[in-house]
Structure 1
Amino acid sequence: MANQKLFAGHAVRRIRRASGLTQVAMAEALDVSASYLNLIERNQRPLTAPIMLRLAERFDFDARSLTGASPGGGAESIKRRLADPLFADLSLDRMQIEDWISAAPDAAEAFARAFDRLASGGDAGPVGNDTITPVREAIGKWRNHFADLDAQAEELADELRLQSADLYGAITDRLRTRHRLSIRILPVDVMPDTLRRLDLHARQLQLSELLDPSSRTFAAAYQLAELEAREQIDALVKGADFSERASEKLYHRHLSGYFAAAVMMPYARFLRACEATGYDVNLLSARFGASFEQVAHRLTTLQRVGARGLPFFMIRIDRAGQSSKRYAGASGAALAETDGRCPIWILHHAFDAGGRIVTQLAELEDGSRWFTMAKNVRPQNGEAEFAIALGIDASMAAPLAAARGVDLKSGPAAQIGLGCANCTRPQCAQRSAPPLGRVLTFNEYQRGLTAFEFVGD
């Protein structure tokens, strides 16, 4: 993974146009030929480290932005959208799609946003009216890996570890000695509807007795993020340039939580433990004093340059199938990107697994295979219940302890889709709606497995 080639022609083209340069002029500034720059912009040549450094030095931009998400999620994501029956009469191959993204990246991104809005049943109102989508896009731009925050959190974690082997105790001491804040655990009758509260008048971080040890540690580390990483977090929020204050607040909360998790699970130590244990989530939870959900989220962030972990995605749903967390990370997984989900996917069966991790090898309509594992959780007061899924491209799942003995390449896989509206698998007994754009057919003399039979099935 560390040697993965970087193709970012769309980003280079955007930098050149923003600088008002021709390809010849920019090539001269980068000490390359115009023809070579043309190949880079067309994604026919990867960016080398020297060229990246010259770009950063001579055009005053953050080189890490080149690793951000491709317009529309990249060629594969655009291709999935174009597989909709609405475009069935068009012959669009991958090369054409890549040429389009390279030539008009902003147009490709605009198409993807418009398609997703319509496919999810959204109205045609301005994108700014949606509070959550811009935040997800900002997280996706960084692939949910914020290098500066991670490095600062890791440095702080090492400092706290020298002070005490008890992380919660070390954080408590730091809050008291450096920030004049004490932590007080209060009974539920005093804080009936609140899990964490900062009382600046009393100089107290007040935590509910309902919080388990991992949640208490996270809450204390979250407060450290607010106090010691505020400048870096504010800079990231400002750089996202949201149009709504609510989006800024959500993004800020995500980044503070990211820092807290990085303090609990410092990057280098956590990655070594992942590789040594086969990414055994239960074992990682015990070793780092973190919950299943905290570990699952952390696994989606392991994208440090030169020390990348496996590219997981994570999703959290309730029993109604509504998602409250979705992180694609660097996986590019449609399972995390789409609003639709398939009831055959193991995620929905985790609620009845009694807290056990259940696994499934799943195959989408495009032939891609994903190894997924899911577990139900009851956070905080135990009244809420969620199911959390972790997934990874099956071709990369061999190192996982949970995948041992599974024939990832050719073994039996559950045939799932991206929700009934986006799935054209014929005669699925679980189908609850016809696929978008397909014409329903009716036969008064017979009935198939589904009430929704359609042209092309």
Structure 2
Amino acid sequence: MAEEALFAGPAVRRLRKRERLTQAAAAARLDISPSYLNLIERNQRPVSARVMMRLVEQFDFDPRSLREDEAIGGIDGLARRFADERFADLGIDRDEMQELLAAAPQAAAAFARLYDSAGSVGVQPDDPMSASRREIERWRNHFADLDMAAEELADEMRLSRGDIGIALTERLRERHQLSVRVLPREVMPDSLRRLDLHARQVQLSEMLSVASRNFQLAIQLAQLEFSKAIAAIANAAKFEEEAARALFARHLTGYMAAALLMPYGRFLRACEATGYDLPVLERRFGVSFEQLGHRLTTLQRVGQRGLPFFMVRIDRAGQFSKTFIGASTARFIESGASCPLWHAHRAFDRAGELQAQFVALDNSGDRDGGWLTMARTVEGSGAPGEAQFVVVLGVEAVLANELAQARGISLRADDAQPIGPGCAQCHRIQCSQRSLPPIGRRLAFDRVRRGVTPFEFTRD
């Protein structure tokens, strides 16, 4: 599969100016001619792999930062914003949006920021949940200091041994003088975990699975031993509302717990050795599918990166209750709506089975390189069957050839199932599954012909 040409002239120019270098000086460090650098900065030449490696070596630069358009969701993120009915009369097409991204990415980012802060019709982007999610994605869901601290504690506790629950219980008893007690549901009808300092107990509901019990113990340990480190990160975010800060701090505590159960170095080595075999990793680390999914979105340590997974959790109504993009470029999941052609929805009828599917975002005739997605049902807290969700993990198809779950699945571009970012944002023509017309397109009507979709619309 041919690699997409990377035009990142404005980013390279800003990097050079940040280093206070002339084009000649920067070109010398990159081992290219000044005229070639000039063409790159004017977006008349792509950034080749060799030049990118020199940028990394000479400027200690993360190459993913060259793609400013990813911060706003690329062309699809920009199209989603321009699809607002307030811009419908301007006739802005995807070619114009692409030109804006290529020539003036900072201007495009400024428009996106202004649009998001003002809010689109029916959306409140500054609610606490959205604010917390934006901060998580600003960090790309990787918190290096917390990972290092968790890894050190895991080594100290020798968590590589078989029963993690025993090690966590011993740590709570020896360091914090807390015992662990599992209580009947009728005693804790509305709680999963409770810290009773009077009785010096960490109390857990009997309804928790073994993996969930261990995770709750790890959360309690993180709250006791790393509260200052977590608070420092959460307070530095400067949220406008306390609820947003509290949600972000809760995420950081869960992040710390996952990092304790799945220490970075050992976990990444296991991922690479098994081909990211999800069932094997679940059992090896004693975690749930959802806990595993969270951890896979965080593997971005400099010099020791894992594959860039994304994760979403979907309920039966198609609502996204969790969205973690991490280092992935899967901005199509930001829409908060999914395509019925995605096998993620089929997973509800096949509880416990892993549904792997090769999909490609097909929108306005442009198809991306495709994604290998893996979906499975998970149960919520409480009694079995009381709440059910589907957790979906995904990685770019070009990176998925060696994955265990890719065996037997063709990753040829022609074999991908086309999907869209929800009907209201999808501009795919002639989709028989369509339930809503796309925002910003003019509906078309034909009195002598009935098409396969209930809504037909103009292509521009």
Per the normalisation by structure 1, the TM-score is 0.83
CA deviations 1:152-181 (Å, max 9, x no partner) are: 111111111169542111111111111122
Residue 131, structure 1, aligned to residue 135, structure 2: no
> Which of 410, 418, 426 is the matching residue for 2:421?
418
Provide the rounded CA distance (Å) in 2 between the counterparts of 1:136 and 1:69.
22
Q: CA deviation at 1:73?
A: 3.1
Partner of 1:56: none
CA deviations 1:337-395 (Å, max 9, x no partner) are: 22121111111111011310011111112311111110111133221100111111111
Equivalent residue letter for 2:272? E
> Which of 252, 263, 287 is the matching residue for 2:260?
263
> Which of 451, 455, 459 is the matching residue for 1:452?
455
Provide the rounded CA distance (Å) in 1 between the counterparts of 2:449 and 2:196.
68
Partner of 1:171: 168
Equivalent residue letter for 2:403? L
> Could you say if the C-alpha distance between residues 364 and 28 of structure 1 is closer, same or farther in structure 2, counting changes exceeding 3 Å?
closer
Aligned runs of 1:6-405 on 2, under 5 Å?
Answer: 23=17, 27=20, 47-48=55-56, 51-52=59-60, 73-74=70-71, 77-78=74-75, 80-82=77-79, 86=88, 88-89=91-92, 91-92=95-96, 94=98, 96-102=100-106, 104=107, 107-111=110-114, 113=116, 117-118=119-120, 121-122=122-123, 127-128=125-126, 130-161=127-158, 165-365=162-362, 366-368=366-368, 369-381=370-382, 382=384, 383-405=386-408
Q: CA deviation at 1:72?
A: 6.0
Question: Percent identity over the alignment?
Answer: 47
> Could you say if the C-alpha distance between residues 92 and 438 of structure 1 is closer, same or farther in structure 2, counting changes exceeding 3 Å?
closer
CA deviations 1:159-213 (Å, max 9, x no partner) are: 1116954211111111111112211111000001111111222221111000010
- Asked if the contact 1:72–1:113 (Cα under 8 Å) also holds between the matched residues in 2, the reply is no
Cα RMSD after superposing both structures: 3.4
Partner of 2:3: none
CA deviations 1:101-159 (Å, max 9, x no partner) are: 24x475144156259x427x316xxx54x111111111111111111111111111111
Partner of 1:19: none
Equivalent residue letter for 1:328? I
- Asked if the contact 1:69–1:143 (Cα under 8 Å) also holds between the matched residues in 2, the reply is no
Residue 408, structure 1, aligned to residue 405, structure 2: no
- Asked if the contact 2:72–2:78 (Cα under 8 Å) also holds between the matched residues in 1, the reply is no
> Could you say if the C-alpha distance between residues 49 and 344 of structure 1 is closer, same or farther in structure 2, counting changes exceeding 3 Å?
same
Provide the rounded CA distance (Å) in 2 between the counterparts of 1:193 and 1:284.
31
CA deviations 1:227-251 (Å, max 9, x no partner) are: 1111211111122111110001100
Provide the rounded CA distance (Å) in 2 between the counterparts of 1:347 and 1:353.
10
Partner of 2:34: none
> Could you say if the C-alpha distance between residues 249 and 321 of structure 1 is closer, same or farther in structure 2, counting changes exceeding 3 Å?
same
Partner of 1:440: 443
Q: CA deviation at 1:34?
A: 11
> Could you say if the C-alpha distance between residues 261 and 455 of structure 1 is closer, same or farther in structure 2, counting changes exceeding 3 Å?
same
CA deviations 1:11-32 (Å, max 9, x no partner) are: 9959x9xxxxxx5x96279xx6
Look up the SS of the partner of 2:105 in the other structure. Answer: helix
CA deviations 1:292-316 (Å, max 9, x no partner) are: 1111111111111111111110000
Deviates more, 1:138-147 or 1:83-92: 83-92
Q: Any gaps of 5 or more consecutive residues in structure 1? A: 17-22, 53-62
Q: Any gaps of 5 or more consecutive residues in structure 2? A: 1-5, 31-36
> Could you say if the C-alpha distance between residues 428 and 114 of structure 1 is closer, same or farther in structure 2, counting changes exceeding 3 Å?
farther
> Could you say if the C-alpha distance between residues 324 and 69 of structure 1 is closer, same or farther in structure 2, counting changes exceeding 3 Å?
farther
- Asked if the contact 1:101–1:108 (Cα under 8 Å) also holds between the matched residues in 2, the reply is no
Provide the rounded CA distance (Å) in 2 between the counterparts of 1:436 and 1:321.
19
Equivalent residue letter for 2:243? A
Provide the rounded CA distance (Å) in 2 between the counterparts of 1:302 and 1:411.
30
Aligned length: 426
- Asked if the contact 2:11–2:66 (Cα under 8 Å) also holds between the matched residues in 1, the reply is no
Provide the rounded CA distance (Å) in 2 between the counterparts of 1:166 and 1:423.
48
- Asked if the contact 1:75–1:98 (Cα under 8 Å) also holds between the matched residues in 2, the reply is no
Equivalent residue letter for 1:379? G
> Could you say if the C-alpha distance between residues 162 and 321 of structure 1 is closer, same or farther in structure 2, counting changes exceeding 3 Å?
closer
- Asked if the contact 1:72–1:109 (Cα under 8 Å) also holds between the matched residues in 2, the reply is no
> Could you say if the C-alpha distance between residues 337 and 177 of structure 1 is closer, same or farther in structure 2, counting changes exceeding 3 Å?
same
- Asked if the contact 1:68–1:143 (Cα under 8 Å) also holds between the matched residues in 2, the reply is no
- Asked if the contact 2:297–2:311 (Cα under 8 Å) also holds between the matched residues in 1, the reply is yes
Q: CA deviation at 1:99?
A: 3.3
> Could you say if the C-alpha distance between residues 402 and 165 of structure 1 is closer, same or farther in structure 2, counting changes exceeding 3 Å?
closer
> Could you say if the C-alpha distance between residues 348 and 176 of structure 1 is closer, same or farther in structure 2, counting changes exceeding 3 Å?
same
Provide the rounded CA distance (Å) in 1 between the counterparts of 2:160 and 2:417.
49
Per the normalisation by structure 2, the TM-score is 0.83
- Asked if the contact 1:134–1:242 (Cα under 8 Å) also holds between the matched residues in 2, the reply is yes
Provide the rounded CA distance (Å) in 2 between the counterparts of 1:12 and 1:240.
29
- Asked if the contact 2:355–2:374 (Cα under 8 Å) also holds between the matched residues in 1, the reply is yes
CA deviations 1:265-308 (Å, max 9, x no partner) are: 11111111111111111111011100011111111111111111
